[in-house]
């Protein structure tokens, strides 16, 4: 595969990750972290960039991506979990969320509109463009990597260069939550982006795109995907540093409630009314590229699993479903999606970690089964918590676990379960060694 195609694959992967949520998280972190900025953004980059990059590597090393990773637990679990992942980050959440954010933070920054009709008309245009960029799977990397991503990078560069030459760094007091442990707080903020889950789908998009460029050898596919992941990781790191720095140094008199307000104010201070146009363009491009990637990933997956419908028909299905969910409004989308995302995230990270581990130490069936079972139990209880359902005895016990109050209480028990499963299989000689490194 040519260096040019690998570069554009990396550009595409960057833009798939860089949705509106990733646009507004870093500036707010920069503002709140104050003089602890370096520690906070370091933690953020670890989980918002490095963890998704590891997921991309994990997917590239698996013969059939997410499906193969899940089937190491059980074939039925692998299929069911893959469907839940694609429906959660795709039709039920990622696609309508991106289009809603493009409307509320992008379109409405430029045009003062109200009511349902403008949202409907915007969604028709937005998903019409998404359809055009998604309908030919062999052209997705060309459309996104060569057209949309460079356009996004150009408008971001305009904002960054002007900000760096205008704003000055001064001392600032961090808010209370960043004062105790800024690195951990930044780590948790990056964790909340949930890009590690999205990477499970995006990895396949890149692999399929590289295959469509004529690459067939497994080693070349892995190499191309890893290099594309590295390009995306470097790009995301630069952009996150720049966005968070803007939040850190932006002068403001009134309290700012979120990253969107920070970037709108920064754009207005730097460019006047033209700043609204610039910010709107950034948001809409970021959301459009994410939608194209999600629809491509979902259509590819369901076409492979249920080939009765063609890839193009699945694109149309997800376009229609995305439009319907978009017009329900962002608040309702978040209410529907939150329990699903809370449930799948611990399981996803456990699977990704184990799939990387096995290439160094061997594959253990019990390691997967034990670890994922424990992660699933914790995830199920976290879902109950989102509905304010708590069992006093269980809650008081779980509160003793490290980082439980931060949503990471599952990590240590899951790790112990994986170790126990691995040891049991190792003693029986049932650990399989087949590393691709």
Phi, psi of 156 (to 5 degrees): -65, -40
196 shares a domain with 148: yes
Alpha-carbon gap, residue 350 to 396, rounded angstroms:
24
170 shares a domain with 104: yes
435 shares a domain with 372: yes
3-state secondary structure 67-123: HHHHHCCCHHHHHHHHHHHHHHHHHCCHHHHHHHHHHHHHHHHHCCCCCHHHHHHHH
33 shares a domain with 151: yes
Phi, psi of 98 (to 5 degrees): -60, -45
Phi, psi of 363 (to 5 degrees): -95, 130
Q: Per-residue pLDDT for the chain (437 aa), expressed as one digit of tens each? A: 677 888 888 988 898 888 767 888 899 999 999 999 999 999 999 999 999 999 999 888 887 678 888 999 999 999 999 998 888 878 778 888 889 888 988 888 788 888 789 999 999 999 999 999 899 877 877 778 788 888 888 989 999 999 999 998 888 899 998 998 899 999 988 887 778 888 888 888 888 888 877 777 888 888 999 999 999 999 999 999 999 999 999 998 878 888 888 988 999 899 987 888 888 888 898 889 888 888 988 998 999 899 999 999 999 999 999 998 888 876 777 777 778 878 888 999 999 899 888 888 888 999 999 999 999 999 999 888 888 887 877 888 888 888 888 778 999 999 999 999 999 999 999 888 766 65
Q: What DSSP designation does 135 have?
A: S
115 shares a domain with 234: yes
Residue 244 C-beta-side C-alpha neighbours within 13 Å: 28
268 shares a domain with 148: yes
Instruction: Provide the domain count of the chain.
Output: 2
Q: Single out the residue in 289, 310, 328 at which a domain terminates.
A: 328
178 shares a domain with 137: yes
Residue 238, domain CATH: 1.20.1740.10
pLDDT of residue 152: 87
Q: Single out the residue in 310, 328, 346 at which a domain terminates.
A: 328
143 shares a domain with 39: yes
Q: Single out the residue in 304, 328, 352 at which a domain terminates.
A: 328
341 shares a domain with 307: no
The distance from CA 181 to its chain's CA centroid, rounded to whole angstroms, is 24
391 shares a domain with 262: no
The distance from CA 167 to its chain's CA centroid, rounded to whole angstroms, is 30
Q: Classify 432 as helix, strand or coil.
A: strand
List, in order, residues 6 or more apart from 322 with CB less than 8 Å away.
91, 95, 96, 99, 127, 130, 291, 295
423 shares a domain with 314: no
253 shares a domain with 375: no
Q: Report whether 34 contacts 163 (CB < 8 A).
A: no
Range of the domain at 34: 3-328
Tokens coding 304: 């492979």
């Amino acid at each position: 595969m040519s260096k040019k195609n690998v570069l554009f694959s990396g550009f595409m992967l960057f833009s798939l990750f860089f949705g509106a949520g990733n646009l507004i998280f870093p500036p707010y972190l920069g503002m709140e972290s104050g003089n602890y900025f370096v520690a906070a953004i370091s933690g953020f980059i670890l989980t918002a960039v490095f963890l998704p990059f590891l997921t991309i590597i994990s997917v590239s090393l698996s013969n059939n991506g997410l499906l193969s990773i899940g089937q190491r637990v059980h074939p039925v679990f692998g299929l069911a979990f893959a469907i839940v992942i694609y429906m959660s980050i795709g039709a039920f959440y990622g696609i309508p969320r991106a289009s809603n954010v493009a409307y509320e933070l992008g379109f409405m920054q430029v045009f003062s509109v109200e009511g349902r009709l403008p949202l409907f008309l915007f969604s028709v245009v937005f998903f019409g463009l998404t359809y055009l960029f998604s309908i030919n799977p062999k052209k997705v990397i060309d459309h996104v990597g060569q057209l949309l991503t460079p356009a996004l990078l150009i408008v971001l560069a305009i904002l960054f260069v002007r900000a760096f030459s205008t704003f000055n760094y001064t001392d600032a007091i961090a808010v209370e939550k960043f004062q105790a442990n800024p690195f951990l707080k930044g780590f948790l903020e990056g964790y909340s982006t949930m890009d590690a889950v999205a990477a499970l789908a995006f990895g396949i998009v890149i692999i399929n795109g590289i295959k469509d460029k004529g690459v067939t050898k497994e080693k070349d596919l892995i190499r191309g995907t890893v290099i594309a992941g590295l390009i995306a990781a470097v790009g995301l790191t630069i952009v996150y540093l720049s966005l968070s720095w803007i939040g850190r140094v932006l002068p403001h008199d009134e309290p700012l409630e979120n990253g969107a307000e920070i970037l709108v104010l920064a754009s207005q201070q730097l460019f006047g009314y033209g700043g609204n146009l610039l910010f709107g363009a950034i948001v809409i491009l970021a959301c459009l590229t994410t939608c194209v990637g999600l629809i491509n990933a979902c259509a590819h997956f369901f076409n492979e699993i249920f080939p009765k419908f063609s890839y193009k028909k699945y694109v149309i299905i997800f376009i229609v479903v995305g439009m319907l969910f978009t017009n329900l409004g962002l608040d309702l989308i978040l209410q529907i999606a939150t329990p699903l995302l809370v449930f799948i995230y611990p399981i996803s990270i456990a699977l990704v970690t184990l799939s990387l581990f096995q290439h160094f130490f061997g594959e253990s069936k019990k390691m997967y089964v034990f670890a994922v079972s424990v992660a699933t139990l914790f995830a199920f209880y976290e879902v109950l918590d989102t509905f304010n359902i708590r069992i006093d005895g269980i809650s008081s016990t779980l509160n003793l676990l490290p980082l439980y109050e931060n949503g990471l209480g599952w990590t240590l028990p899951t790790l112990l379960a994986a170790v126990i499963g691995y040891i049991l299989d190792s003693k029986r000689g049932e650990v399989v060694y087949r590393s691709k490194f």
